[in-house]
Each structure stands twice: as structure tokens, then as C-alpha cells.
Structure 1
Amino acid sequence: MTVRIGVIGTGMIGRDHTRRMQQVLAGTQVVALSDYNPDAARAVQKDLVPDAKVYDRGEDLIAAPDVDAVLVCSTGSTHEPYVLAAIAAGKPVFCEKPLATTAEGALRIVEAEAAKGSRLVQVGFMRRYDAGYRMLKQVVDNDIGTPLMVHAAHRNPTVPDTYGTPMAIHDTLIHEIDVLRWLLNDDYVSAQVVFPRKSSHAHSGLRDPQMVLLETAKGIRIDVEIFVNCRYGYDIQCQIVGEEGLANLPEPMSITLRKQAHLQNEILMDWKDRFIDSYDVELADFIKAAALGTAAGPTAWDGYVAAITSDACVQAQESGQIVPITLPARPALYD
């Protein structure tokens, strides 16, 4: 079966996902496009999918009878209404993060999906599909004993002047929030944020770096360094300390070079290069499930928990206090 896909949002990630489904993955065809800027949708149509229909409204694309499943790659504020419309139509929907811009909005999606009684939503937390993180998951589950501590870092070479302090949580830490829950099979109960000495490379509206301290329900302590002006590269680190050993996230594959009295490895500068393969794997997972009328991978509940945790971390940024994280009862659909 060929899954006919409609893509809402044809910016950088929407265009790349369209290319991926047309040129890399099997079992799928992009048949519809929509963007708030129709010219952007028509440009993707011309370059990648000349037979696709361009819709002025995402809601009309979702309702189209020849669209089997939907990709939501538009701006974050539009995610909630589009995902809710896809659920109401009974169509599997892949939503790039965030699931919604507020925890209340994400909860509305969870409630709508639970009322429908079947999984239809996959959230674009691609790190769960990264080969390195999957290797780390295997070791954590089987080889190092009970996890006790996690030391992690998320470093970018630089960010634009429009990047503010809360974005270090909502746009950057959000990936660690999800992938660490998955690695540890645990939920968070508190968050604290502390600020070291400010980097001279950080603009006036940004406090950088920062340290996020999380505690889980099982008592695991997590520290995550967020440093978005580190200059030297895009660097993702994760070390999990267990009772019987410790495990590190593998470095991306690269050639070790001996030259001019130096031993060196290339460091990536762009997040798209670091996780490019994981996008292929996550969308292949979505397509496989969508062919059966359902969804796989990170759930709407995962998106909701990430939103609650993010809000708590931003509150901790602002207050300097330890902020409790409380979750409601998880619907049976997500057990």
C-alpha cells in the first residue's frame, strides 16, 4: 500500500521531509501541500512533487479524501489546531515539535486522541531514532545496572539575536527532556536552573550558558549544560552513570586525521548533519504505522509531558527556585 501524504508547512523541515518521502523512503507519495505562503508551497511542488495539489488552507488538505496521513511542519502556533483536525478526521498525523505551544494545548490533543480510542499522533522527537542513542538505550537497559546520575550537554556554535533565554528550554533542551525520559523510562518530579558566568559571546538578551538540574521519580539526578555560543561546533553529549558501570553516547562517525603534528577529528557545526539519518528512520516508522491507520514512536502524551517539563524549567529560570513537576494520570491509551 502506498500511503498518500499531505504536508502542511513547506519551510526548511517541510521541504526536507517532502524530499525524503519522494526520493528516499518507500511506500509513500506526497499528494498535497499547504503553507501560509502559497508561493512557498508552489515552489516545493515545482521542485519536488509536480503532481501534488496545493491547498490554501491546512484544514482543507486534512479533509481531502485522497490524503491518508498528514505531516505538520508549520509554525508551532498552528500545530494544535491541525493535529486536532487530523484526529477528528481519523487520519494519522506526524507533528514536528512542539506538539503545542502550551501544556494546555497539548493536553487537549491527548484528550482528543484518547477519546478517539486509538493512536494517531507521532511527535517529531527524532533523537529516539538516532543510532547512537539506540545503542546507549541498549546498554542502559542491560549492562550498567540501575541508573543513578546523568551528565549531558547540548552545545551550539552560535545562535541568532532573536534567540532568547526561554528558547534554551523550549527549542534546545526540549530534545533532552524527551530522550532522557525514554532512556531512563522515568518521569521528572522537579527542575532547577542555575546560571554560570555569562559568555562574552552571548548577546544582551540571552543568559548563556545555563545548567538545568532535573530529578526523576526514581531519584535519578540529571544535569544538562546548555551552551549555545560555544563556538567550536554542534556538540551533543550524554553520560549515564549506573550502579555497575557508566555509558557514553557515541560520538558521530568521523575520520581520525594525523596531520602537521596533530591528531584530530572533525566536529560537526550543524544539527541537521548530526541527526540527518534519524529523520529517515522516524518517518519510515510513521509511514509503516500510517499504512495500518495508526501511529508509532513518540506519543501525544510524550509531547504533553515535554510541554509540562519545559514550562517548569522556564519557571525555574525566572524564579531561581526548585520547581515541582506534577503530571496527571496517564490515559490507558498510552500504557
Structure 2
Amino acid sequence: MTIGIGVIGAGVMGADHARTVARHVGGAELVAISDPDESRARAISGEIAGCRPFTDGLELIADPAVEAVLIASPDHTHVGFVLACLGAGKHVLCEKPLAPTSAGCREVLEAERALGRRLIQVGFMRRFDPAYVEMRSVLKRGELGKALLLHCAHRNATAPGFFTPEMSITNAAVHEFDILRWLTGSEIIAVTALNSARKGDGGLRDPLVLLVEMEDGVLADVELFMNAAYGYDIRTELVCENGTVDLGRPAPNLHRRAGTEARSFPSDWRGRFGDAYRLQLQAWLASVRGQEPAGADASDGLAATRVAEAALASLESGRRVEIATDRP
């Protein structure tokens, strides 16, 4: 059974999702793409046979040919589009964050619960990355003992032009919050945000360090550096009682010249997490067909945003901020 997919958002992320659906995921057909900028929607639809352009995401959701929707539009639009998908009874994969605020996440979560069935998956694709999957498997097998510490770094070569100071946490750090919860199976109970010496004169408080406390006693430090210049670099080291696991990275080419040896880094997330995005889409489509849902659900989206709000509050106050541990 082929599923008709509509993608909302034809920017870099949406365009990449659209091409992955059309070219690398079996059993799916990209039938529609929308963007307020008609030229961007038409550029993608012109590449892919049978894909129609829209300028209104709500019209795309209402189209009968669209059986499931992938949302990759700006963060502040997510709630409205997800609620429209729920109203139409259509499965939706929403890029992170589910919403920029916990109030928005709760509105979505309550609307889904009122339907009595799960239709939402949140795009925390690291859960599908083979290196993270292997790290979690090692921890669950218990061969290294229990987890004690996690060291994480999230570095971009250059922050996107639309990034606000808050988005380093609400848009980027939410990946770290979700993967910490997923790896350990424990909730985050407190966060402390620390400013470092700032790079340049830009508006971002960059880099940042977050100290994250887990309910099971695990501590994690998270570095966020949105303008690291040298490339896109994601690092995680899991420290256990009897050993450590360092996150593997796709093997880049090794360059040798003029007496030096160096490895290259990808310029953005596509070079690092291409497989994870494809595997995420395959798992989502399987759930659309009726198989057991996989990936992060709406409550996971809410949990990550709640931690992000606490981190922003800590950044402003300079104090440790606690987070309620009740399951949303």
C-alpha cells in the first residue's frame, strides 16, 4: 500500500524531507508540498513527478490525496498545523520542537488524547541513529554497569540566519534533552545554564553549557555552540561504572597533504544524520500502515520543551531550576 505524503515547509529541512520521501523511502509517494513562498514549493514539486505545490498548509492537510503529513515549517506554526492534522484524522510527523512552549505542547497532547488514538510522532531522529541505538543497547545489557555521567556537545558550523538567542535551547538543545531521557530511561529533574565567554558580537549567547540532573542520579553536561565554524559535530560520551561508550561518527575522508593529516566534518546535520532521518521516516510510515508506533510521541515533545523552558529560566536567573517529574 502506497501512502500519499504531504510536506509542509519547503525550506532546507522540508525540501530534504521531501526528497527523502520521494527517493529513498519505499511505499510512500510525495503528493504535495506547501510553503508561503510559492517559488520554493514549485521548485520541489518540479523535481518530483505527481507532487503538487500549495501555499497554504491547511489546504494541503485537507486534500484527500494527502493521507499523512510531515511538518517542517517554522516552530511557531507547529501547533496550528498539528491540530489541523488531528482534526482531519491524519497521522503527522512534526519536526522538533512539537511547540516552542509547554502550553502549546499540552494543547496538542490533550487534543490527541481526546481522539483516543496516537497520531503524532515528533522528529527526534537521533533515536533512529545507529550509533545512538548501539549506545543504548550497551547500557540496557548492563555489561558496563549503570550509567553515571554523560558528556554531550552540539556544535553547528554556523547558526541559521533565523535563529534567535532562545532557539539555541528551544530548537537545538531539545535534541539533547530527548536523547538523554531516551538513553537513560530517566526524567530530567533540574537544569543549570551557564554562559561562557561569548564568541563575537552576535545576538546569540554562544557557546552555552548546561548541567542536567536526571531523576536516577545521572549527571550530564551539554555544550551548545551554534557558530563553531569548523563544521557540524555531535558528541556524546556515556560514562558507566565499568567503562565508557563514545558515540561513533560516520567515517569522513582522511586528507593527507603538505606533511599534515586531517579528517573533514559535515557542514550540517544532513551529512551526519542522513540515515537516521531515513530510518525515522520508514518507522513512521510503518505506524501509518497500522504497525506499532515508533519514535517520540507528543508527551516526549512536551517533556523536552519543559526542560527547554527551565533552561531559559536558569539562563536568565543564573540559578538551578527544578522540573516537575510527573509524566505529562
Kindly indicate whether residue 317 of structure 2 is the aligned counterpart of residue 319 of structure 1: yes
Letter in 2 for 1:72: I
TM-superposed deviation, 1:227: 2.1
Kindly indicate whether residue 153 of structure 2 is the aligned counterpart of residue 146 of structure 1: no
Displaced runs of 4+ in structure 1, greater than 6 A?
A: none
Structure-1-length-normalised TM-score: 0.91
In structure 2, distance between residues paired with 1:3 and 1:21: 10
TM-superposed deviation, 1:229: 2.8
Residue 61 of structure 2 corresponds to which residue in structure 1?
62
Letter in 2 for 1:307: T
Kindly indicate whether residue 67 of structure 2 is the aligned counterpart of residue 85 of structure 1: no
Letter in 2 for 1:101: P
Query: Structure 1 residues 227-236 or 137-146, which shifts more?
Result: 227-236
* 3-state SS in 1 of match to 2:313: helix
Matched positions, count? 327
Instruction: Return the match for 1:249 from 247, 250, 258.
Output: 247
Residue 214 of structure 1 corresponds to which residue in structure 2?
212
Residue 71 of structure 2 corresponds to which residue in structure 1?
72
In structure 2, distance between residues paired with 1:160 and 1:56: 23
Please list the CA deviations of residues 180-220 of structure 1 after superposition, one character each: whole Å capped at 9, or x if unmatched: 11111111000101123333xx3242322221001011111
In structure 2, distance between residues paired with 1:236 and 1:169: 15
Residue 113 of structure 1 corresponds to which residue in structure 2?
112
| 1:149-168 correspondence to structure 2 within 5 Å | 149-159=149-159, 163-168=163-168
Percent of paired sites with the same residue: 38
Please list the CA deviations of residues 30-78 of structure 1 after superposition, one character each: whole Å capped at 9, or x if unmatched: 12222222332222212223x2333443223222222211111112111
In structure 1, distance between residues paired with 2:292 and 2:130: 24
TM-superposed deviation, 1:127: 1.1
* 3-state SS in 2 of match to 1:46: helix
| 1:1-335 correspondence to structure 2 within 5 Å | 1-49=1-49, 51-142=50-141, 143-159=143-159, 163-199=163-199, 202-292=200-290, 295-330=293-328
Distance change >3 Å, CA 289–CA 177, structure 1 → 2: same
TM-superposed deviation, 1:251: 2.6
In structure 2, distance between residues paired with 1:67 and 1:193: 42
TM-superposed deviation, 1:161: 6.4
TM-superposed deviation, 1:145: 1.1
Checking the alignment, whether the CA contact within 8 Å between 2:92 and 2:119 is kept in structure 1 is: yes
Checking the alignment, whether the CA contact within 8 Å between 2:100 and 2:170 is kept in structure 1 is: no
TM-superposed deviation, 1:104: 0.5
Distance change >3 Å, CA 294–CA 71, structure 1 → 2: farther
Checking the alignment, whether the CA contact within 8 Å between 1:6 and 1:61 is kept in structure 2 is: yes
Checking the alignment, whether the CA contact within 8 Å between 1:210 and 1:226 is kept in structure 2 is: yes
Distance change >3 Å, CA 293–CA 238, structure 1 → 2: closer
In structure 2, distance between residues paired with 1:53 and 1:255: 38
Residue 333 of structure 1 corresponds to which residue in structure 2?
none
Checking the alignment, whether the CA contact within 8 Å between 2:206 and 2:225 is kept in structure 1 is: yes
TM-superposed deviation, 1:311: 0.6
Structure-2-length-normalised TM-score: 0.93
Letter in 1 for 2:132: Y
Give the gaps of 5 or more residues in structure 1. 331-335
Distance change >3 Å, CA 65–CA 159, structure 1 → 2: closer
Letter in 1 for 2:74: T
Distance change >3 Å, CA 182–CA 58, structure 1 → 2: same
In structure 2, distance between residues paired with 1:25 and 1:58: 23
* 3-state SS in 2 of match to 1:211: strand
TM-superposed deviation, 1:263: 3.7
In structure 1, distance between residues paired with 2:132 and 2:243: 17
Distance change >3 Å, CA 302–CA 146, structure 1 → 2: same
In structure 2, distance between residues paired with 1:268 and 1:52: 30
Checking the alignment, whether the CA contact within 8 Å between 1:22 and 1:30 is kept in structure 2 is: yes
Please list the CA deviations of residues 77-96 of structure 1 after superposition, one character each: whole Å capped at 9, or x if unmatched: 11111111111222110111
Letter in 2 for 1:166: E
Letter in 1 for 2:60: L
